Amino acid sequence: MKRIFSLMAVLLLSQASLAFAAVVEDWTGIAPGNTGTYQDSTGSKIDFVADAGPKGGQKALKLTANKAANGYCGVYHTTTLDLSKSGSFKFMAKSTVAGDIQMAIVDAFNVQYVAKFPVTTAWAEVEVPFASFIKDPYYTPPTAIAGHPMDLSKCQNLNFSPQMDGTSVVLIGPVEAAGTATASTSTAASSTAASSSAPAASSASSGPGAAVLDCTGLDSKAAGTFQDSQGSSFTFAVKDNPNKKGKQYLTITYELKQGGYCGMWCRAGGSDWKGADLSSAKTINVTIYSKEPVVLGLALKDKGNNQYVAETPATKGNKWETVSVPLDGFKLDPYYTPPDAVKGAPKDFSKVTTFNIQPKTVGKFTVAVDGIVGK
């Protein structure tokens, strides 16, 4: 049984010289021998059939699901695809209930990777960059060979798992492999790209709201780094912003090894240790520059000194952009409890004393951050 959960992360592939788009699954050959279902034992149910696609003559994979609260269900489809020259999946999709769909693939090393995409109640084109897939932290196939970057020269599964509770009917049209594979940007190249374009004067996360990160004057007393013992590394610096007099922004240079971790902790709020009051905020907005798509993990230490974690959506790359994470999407960190935490205390973001930035994209990158704001 394959257990699929919703999360979001990024992994970049090797450079390819040619871009192309080709249908890799048209759903005309689905059968019990290559397609099946999985579900929890708490009452979730799902079925599949081939149905009419978004255009005349096309087929679609139709998923009829009834997902229990906190449960899961999905459909797997076995296949063999060489996706090493492409950059994304592209297809049409719709659902009777708008929400998110979890997609999973299994690479040449039999490791399962997952990503999430939204669906609406009308047919709409969906693009899922291969850069947005992360290693499934909850399920590893028994034949997986660990310790390798994602290798899509032999993709062996296409799995779809509706994330909406209750009844939904989802249609997935023919799936294309589109775009061009991208390389993990080298540290030097990324550094040049990140530092050559300062954030604009009207940065999206610098407006009204509660400042979580104020880069101006940030020093080693207010922030520090951490990394694994597997070769991952992380450094940061602050740079003057020529477009905002007296202001600075943060640059981060890191190398994240497969299966490793690295990041930074930082004082939240202003120039003192009073913390940031996020009790009225609905989202955390991060204004970031990255040459390639990246995902950042965020951790907030609340008033009870418990740590809550979430991940940003993948950036699009090659421009300054603001990504948002709903505050109610932050969950109690299952892997780390601060020694001073009040265990069992309710989540309380009225005083966030420190926060962490922990990259999730494997490889070497330099990114720039122009503030983190609760709004």
Predicted confidence at residue 197, as pLDDT, reads 59
326 DSSP assignment: E
What's the CA gap between 127 and 125, in Å, rounded? Answer: 7
Predicted confidence at residue 335, as pLDDT, reads 80
Q: How far is CA 313 from CA 284, 297, 299, 302, in A?
A: 12, 10, 15, 22
User: pLDDT tens per residue, the chain (375 residues)?
Assistant: 444 433 333 333 233 333 446 999 999 999 888 999 999 999 999 999 999 999 999 999 999 999 998 899 999 999 999 998 898 999 999 999 999 999 999 999 998 999 999 999 999 999 998 888 888 877 888 888 877 778 899 999 999 999 999 999 999 999 999 887 654 323 333 333 444 456 665 454 545 678 899 887 777 788 999 998 889 999 999 998 887 777 889 999 999 887 788 999 999 987 777 889 999 999 999 999 998 888 899 999 999 999 999 988 888 888 899 999 899 889 898 888 889 999 899 999 999 999 999 998 888 999 999 989 999
DSSP E strand stretches across 138-256: 155-162, 166-172, 175-178, 210-213, 223-227, 233-240, 248-256
DSSP E strand stretches across 14-154: 22-25, 35-39, 45-52, 59-67, 73-81, 88-95, 99-106, 112-119, 124-129, 134-135
Predicted confidence at residue 302, as pLDDT, reads 94
Predicted confidence at residue 134, as pLDDT, reads 84
Neighbours of 70 (CB within 10 A): 9
**Who contacts 328 (Cβ-Cβ below 8 Å, separation ≥6)?**
none
Predicted confidence at residue 182, as pLDDT, reads 55
Against a cut of 0.85, is the pTM above it? no
According to DSSP, the β-strands at 88-95 and 124-129 are antiparallel
Contact 54, 61 (CB under 8 A): no
Predicted confidence at residue 200, as pLDDT, reads 60
Predicted confidence at residue 198, as pLDDT, reads 65
| CATH superfamily label, 22-178 | Galactose-binding lectin (2.60.120.430)
Predicted confidence at residue 46, as pLDDT, reads 97
187-374 classified as CATH 2.60.120.430:
yes
Q: Where in the chain is the domain with CATH 2.60.120.430?
A: 22-178, 187-374
